Amino acid sequence: MPETAPSADFGWKNLGSRTTTILLQLLLWVVLGVFYFAWNNRPNFSFEGPVWPLVVLQMGFSVLLFNALVYLIIPRWLLQGRTWQALAAGVAVLYAFELWMYVGSRLAQTYLPLSPVMHRVLQQFYVAGFWQGLLSPAEQINTFFGMLAIVLFPVLISFLAYALVIDRRRLALERDHLHLELGYLKSQINPQFLFNTLGSLHTMTRTRDERAGDVVLHLADLMRYTLYETDTERVPLSRELEFLEDYLALERLRHPETVGIVHTVAGPVLKQTLAPLLLHPFLERLFASLDAAPNAVANIRSEVVVSPDAVTLNLERTSEVPLPLTYRSDAAIGAALRRLALQYPGLHTVHLTETDRLVQVQLHLRL
């Protein structure tokens, strides 16, 4: 059955947390600056002379409100069900707005060359009756609606920005999950296969089998690749194919009489890259299933078809005796399918057929 995932990949997901915060703040200042200059120059509300003092006051408070919403009120109180803290924060925001505009207006009136109209507007809306209005419910309601007209746009931006932050955290968790699953796949390669190979190597050295040297070389290549070359997000396809050939060479040495192995690679292998250890689990678990019947005669065919922008892995295992149906439900196969869904959403298909005598896998991957 096809295994795909609908999730999308964003170009900004690899940015650091500090870089993202700085860019978000810069973008916020630019957007709010444009908005407030347009707001204070609308046809029915314009001044003679510069309007930047009022713009600075409104934009400064909006930036503070944005940070309070995104980093404190929304995540720690509102979404945590702490209703009373959120309501108290709303009241505090109202009084903070009044205090901010009062202090800023007084400073502007004292130290800046304001036009008469600007001076009158600041005096009427933010200075006159300030102290009496703090304790008047009617004045607080009027102030609330006046504030709402100014900060409604920043509030909407705050919720959108918080959604962006949450989505970025989700992507970071998915990336960490991928690293954990890659480590899991490495652990699946190392222990059991390593012990079995060392056991075979021990037997060969005791009987002075000349194949022991080949086993050591192939095993060293496998360990070098899994331990030192798979810590990047992508590896050369040619190196991944060499890893598969080393692995199959070891399996031929481990099962010289009971398992027939045919492996072919078709197509130009140039500079294509893919996620590390992506193909190996599908091949390795074909052999792992044989451990339940060590004397069973089986044939395994592996074919890799390469094109400039895609790779197809065709696997088939046939056996003369019934084997347990463990391939599809194997944890390593499930982990490999999840990696494909997360790293290649919409870029891969997997078709898997399993019976007690036949396992067929076709993996097509667009690079």
Domains in the chain with CATH codes: 11-171 (no CATH), 190-366 (3.30.565.10)
Tokens read off for 199:
């056991």
Query: What are 23-29's contacts with CB under 8 Å, separation 24+?
Result: 24/161, 24/164, 25/63, 28/63, 28/66, 28/157, 28/161, 29/59, 29/63
Residue showing tokens 């667009």: 366
Q: What is the CA radius of gyration of the chain?
A: 33
In DSSP terms, which residues pair with 360 in a beta bridge? 316, 353
State the helix-helix crossing angle for 280-288 and 331-343, rounded to 10 degrees.
170
CA dist 119 and 112 (Å) reads 10
pLDDT given at position 345: 86
Q: Which pTM was predicted?
A: 0.53
Residue pair 363/350 in contact by the 8 Å Cβ criterion: yes
Q: Output the tens digit of pLDDT for each of the chain's 367 residues.
A: 444 433 334 444 455 666 766 777 777 778 777 887 887 777 766 666 678 888 888 888 887 887 787 778 877 887 788 888 888 888 888 888 889 889 988 998 888 888 888 888 888 888 888 888 887 888 888 777 777 777 777 677 766 766 666 766 666 777 777 677 666 655 555 455 566 666 666 666 776 666 667 777 777 777 777 777 777 778 899 999 998 988 888 888 777 788 899 999 999 998 899 988 889 889 988 887 777 777 788 999 999 999 999 999 999 999 988 888 888 888 888 888 888 887 888 899 999 999 989 999 999 999 8
CA dist 29 and 67 (Å) reads 12
CA 210, 190, 280, 215: dihedral to nearest 10 degrees? -10
- DSSP for 310-335, please give it: EEEEEEEEEESS---S-TTT-HHHHH
Contacts of 262 (CB under 8 A, 6+ apart): 299, 300, 301, 302
pLDDT given at position 53: 82
Terminal Cα distance for the chain, rounded = 20
Burial class (CB in 10 A: 0-12, 13-18, 19+), 356: exposed
In which element (H, E) is residue 47 found? Answer: none
State the helix-helix crossing angle for 17-39 and 52-68, rounded to 10 degrees.
140
3-state secondary structure of 121: helix
Residue 20 phi, psi (nearest 5): -60, -40
3-state SS of the chain: helix, strand, coil percent to 5? 60, 15, 25
Residue pair 248/262 in contact by the 8 Å Cβ criterion: no
CA dist 284 and 128 (Å) reads 80
Residue pair 27/363 in contact by the 8 Å Cβ criterion: no
Among 358, 354, 339, 301, CA closest to 3: 339
Among 95, 92, 91, CA closest to 103: 95
Burial class (CB in 10 A: 0-12, 13-18, 19+), 5: middle
pLDDT given at position 293: 73
